[in-house]
Structures are given as structure tokens and as C-alpha cells.
Amino acid sequence: MMKTALELSDAIKSKDMSCVELMQKTLSQIDQVNPRINAIVNRVDPERALQQAKQADTDLASGNYRGWMHGFPHAVKDVANLAGFLTTLGSPLSQNWGVSQSDDIAIARIRKQGAIFIGKTNVPEFGLGSHTYNTVYGTTANAFDETLTAGGSSGGAAAALATGLLPVADGSDMMGSLRNPAGFNNVVGFRPSLGRIPVDNGSNDLFFGQLSSLGPMARTVADTAMLYRTMAGADRRAPLSMQPTPQHPLCHKPASADKLRIGWLSDYDGYLATEPGVISLCEIALKGLNDAGCTVSPAQITFSMEELWQSWLVSRQWVLGNGYRGLFQNTDNHEYIKPEALWEMSRGQNLSGQALYAASSSRSNWFRAVNRCFEQFDILALPAAQVFPFPKAQHWPEEINGTVMDTYHRWMEVVIGPSLCGCPVISLPAGFDCHGRAMGIQFMAPIGEDDKLLQFAMTYEAINPWAQHYAGM
């Protein structure tokens, strides 16, 4: 069974394992597995990685302990800037962009804790769509079935974790990009409260970009909490970042299940089309919570879900249409951009201020409706996806259980609620269906209650353990 990140950290700090030994094992695992799943891309030369590991051992011997990730091999999601590496966003246009000259804020914090960067993790083109494929590096396969998708956009990160290529991974999430691939690969993906992790990746806008969040991924909740602690905290370069520092992860302990009120939103009372087996698998996991003392009962949020979807479309397309306006307006670029991305960029070009204000008003009313629901429940639960992992040759599910999907991302509508309200939400493994396909379940807490959600997640992990599924991989 694979060691947890915290176990590896302790082993290195106590010198029971050298950084070189960990690097050698990691590189060997990557050589064996990565050609099949294509999770880690833009790899550094192995000799360079080993030299850095040797230096990390030398530093440790001389008393220069860098932090809990001292000597950890780490690959950064290929939408984030990492000094000395090309950030491709999975786009063939990246050949014109040049190598990043500095780290993004969260990546610099990971570096400061002692990580050794060995490459990037694969993403969909521009990080759009919950299926990791692009014409630069190809397709990332599911950790448990190489014919299926790993999800996205943090698909490379999730598959790398599940196959032991990385101890922990960074990711980001606009439309379930931490949660969907976590569910599809039986790992943990945590999207924190709005502003918990500072964002400044060099884009022009620092104030309107509130749909996306950075976050950690790992095989265990404790490892996830530790990376969250590394990435989180205010920074004066990010005006929307939160000033309060999160609780130290070593203080995180499982919450008492007794009297915890869990509201099961399911498919929003039949509104969401879901593949058969998704709901029932999640409900089996919820039964474990109920048996342990939680009160699990159906929940409803009084709100028009179609209005929420339209608010989402306008908000997202405004961000994409304006964020990529220069790229889109050069029509020579169009042949190098996938049709789904072109469609969203084009829709965002001419949105009116009135439309944007109406979408923001709907989002505000949704937030208020979610808060009212939290008056009855401590935690709200949803499936992490509406379908199980699908064939990786398929770009996206065009229908679910007889319902036609009218956009390339409608099949992921289940994730937009937490994204729009800015609440902390974590995707935890729910189990596998009879075909061996993994599914996750989302748990959401009131905004700002990130630590309480992580403590609850530890309780869930103790009741519904999943680590045994990595053994022998």
C-alpha cells in the first residue's frame, strides 16, 4: 500500500528515508506507469531531479530542513506558472508564450516547503471541460481503467495521485475541476472557501475572477489538509484573499458523527439527469454516516435550478470571453482552439453589463438560498458527477439516461452550485460500481467553515475507508 504524504514527510525528516531514495522510487513508478496513463507531462531530466534530491539530503544533514515537503517530487497543474517551465494550458498556441519567469503565489509556497519540481500535470485545452485531452500532450487515462477518462481539468493530478506518481498535487476548480477528477480516480479534491488561497497568475483582472479556486488534492484527508495549509493564507498581491489563517492541519481531528445533520441534495429533486448507479452508490456511502450517528435526510434548496444554470453560463462566458479576448480576436488562432472553447469565447465577446449584473444578482440570491438551507443542516451532500468515467475517446457525454446535453459541460451541472456560492466543498470517494468505475460524493459547508469541513471529511474517511483500493497498483 502506498505511504501517505505525511508518512513520507516523517520518514525524510527522521532520515529513515533519503530524498534520493524517494526520488528514485518516484521516477521508477513514473517510468512504469506514466506511458499508460499520461498524467505527468513536460518532465525534467531524471538526472536533474536526482541531483536536486541529493542536494536536499545534503541540506537535511547540515540542519537545513526546508519544510514538510522537503525532497518531495511535485508536478504542477499545467495552468499554473512554475518558474523555468512552459505553461501550455494544453494549447498548441503555447509555443508562442515563452517559459514562466516566476512561480504563482501558491506554487511559491509549495517550493518554500521543500518540493522538487519534476514536471507538470496534464489538463484539457485551456482547462476547459472535465476530460483531460489536448493536442499538445494527448489524453490522460483513468487510474483504474486506461480506456476511460480521468476527468478534468485536474485530471493529470488525480490520475498521478491514484497511481502513486505524486504524494500530493495542486489543482484548480471552476466547474468541478478538483472534484470531478477526484471522484473519477478515488482521491480527495478540496475546493476551499472563496479567497482562502490567493490567486495572482499574471492575468489583468484581480477582482472579477471569482468563479475559480485553487485547491489541494491527495489520497487522504490529512494530506489534503496539510497541502491546503501550505497553499492558503492572505497575500497583498491578491486583494480578495482572506486574512484569517486556517487552522494548522495537525489540529484537524475527526469530528464527532453524533448529531451531525447531513442534507442530501441528490439530483435536486429529479432536476439533474444522472447515470443509473450514481445516486445509489452515494447513498450507500451516506448510510455509513447515518449508521455512525449522523442524521442524513433529504434536503431541498428553494431556487430555480434553470435560473442558476443561466447565471453560470453568463458568468463563465464573460470571464472566458474577456480573459481570452485578444487570443480570440486574432482569427488566425481559431484553427488551433478546440470548438467548445471557441464557442464559449465567442459567446462572451458581446455580453452586456445588464446581463452580467442579472447573472450576479441570481448568484447572490442562490448564496442566500444555500445559507437558509444551512440553518437546517451542518453539511450538504451531492454526487461529484452525474456520470461514471466514460470512454476517453469520447470528448463529452452527449446524453445522460435519455436526456440530451445541450452544451459540452451540461453533464457537470451538479458542480456549479458550490462554485457559485463560494462555499468550501470537498469531493471524497464514494466507491466503485460493478464495472470498477469510481465515483465521488461532494460535501459542502457554510462559507468560511473550511476546517470544520475537513474535520467532517476525516470522520467520513474513517467510516468509509478507501485507501485499500490503491494497494498493488
Give 415-460 pLDDT, tens digit per residue.
999 999 999 999 999 999 999 999 999 999 999 999 999 999 999 9
- Write the DSSP string, 172-193: EESSSTTHHHHHHTT-EEEE-S
When mean pLDDT is compared across 21-30, 178-187, 249-258, 392-401, the lowest value belongs to 249-258
| Percent of the chain residues past pLDDT 90, beyond the cut | 90
Q: State residue 344's pLDDT score.
A: 96
DSSP code at position 86: B
Q: State residue 256's pLDDT score.
A: 78
Q: State residue 390's pLDDT score.
A: 98
Q: State residue 259's pLDDT score.
A: 83
Question: Would the pLDDT of 101 be above 70?
Answer: yes
Question: Is-contact 151 180, C-beta < 8 A?
Answer: yes
Annotated catalytic residue: which of 9, 77, 130, 193?
A: 77
Q: State residue 43's pLDDT score.
A: 98
**Alpha-carbon distance 445 to 454, whole Å?**
10
Closest CA to 273 of 114, 437, 413, 149: 413
Annotated catalytic residue: which of 18, 100, 130, 153?
A: 153
Asked about 77 being catalytic, the answer comes back as yes
* Longest alpha-carbon distance in the chain: 64
pLDDT, tens digit, 9 for 90 and up, residues 8-48: 999 999 999 999 999 999 999 999 999 999 999 999 999 99
Backbone angles phi, psi at 134, to 5 degrees: -160, 170
Q: State residue 374's pLDDT score.
A: 98
- Write the DSSP string, 223-253: HHHHHHHHH-S--TTSTTS-SSPPPPGGG--
Question: Would the pLDDT of 246 be above 60?
Answer: no
- Sorted by sequence, the CB contacts under 8 Å of residue 193 that are 6+ apart come out as 242, 422, 423, 424, 447, 448, 449, 450
What is the average pLDDT score of the chain?
95
Give the residue-averaged pLDDT of 258-285: 96
Question: Would the pLDDT of 219 be above 60?
Answer: yes
Question: Would the pLDDT of 278 be above 70?
Answer: yes
Q: State residue 249's pLDDT score.
A: 60
Q: State residue 395's pLDDT score.
A: 97
Task: State the CATH number of the domain containing residue 406.
Answer: 3.90.1300.10
Give the residue-averaged pLDDT of 147-151: 98
**Domains identified in the chain, total number:** 1
Closest CA to 195 of 424, 363, 361: 424
Closest CA to 141 of 390, 332, 347, 365: 390
DSSP code at position 450: H
Task: Answer yes or no: pTM beyond 0.95.
Answer: yes
- Write the DSSP string, 110-167: HHHTT-EEEEEE---GGG-SSS-EETTTEEPBPSS-TTBB--SSTHHHHHHHHTTS-S
Annotated catalytic residue: which of 100, 172, 177, 241?
A: 177
Backbone angles phi, psi at 280, to 5 degrees: -65, -35
**Alpha-carbon distance 260 to 139, whole Å?**
41
Q: State residue 403's pLDDT score.
A: 98
Q: How far does Cα 310 stand from its chain's mean position?
A: 23
The cell for 395 is 470528448
DSSP code at position 270: T
Give the residue-averaged pLDDT of 248-265: 79
Asked about 25 being catalytic, the answer comes back as no
pLDDT, tens digit, 9 for 90 and up, residues 353-382: 999 999 999 999 999 999 999 999 999 999
User: Residue type at 40?
Assistant: I
Q: State residue 254's pLDDT score.
A: 76
Provide the residue range defining the domain that includes 196.
5-470
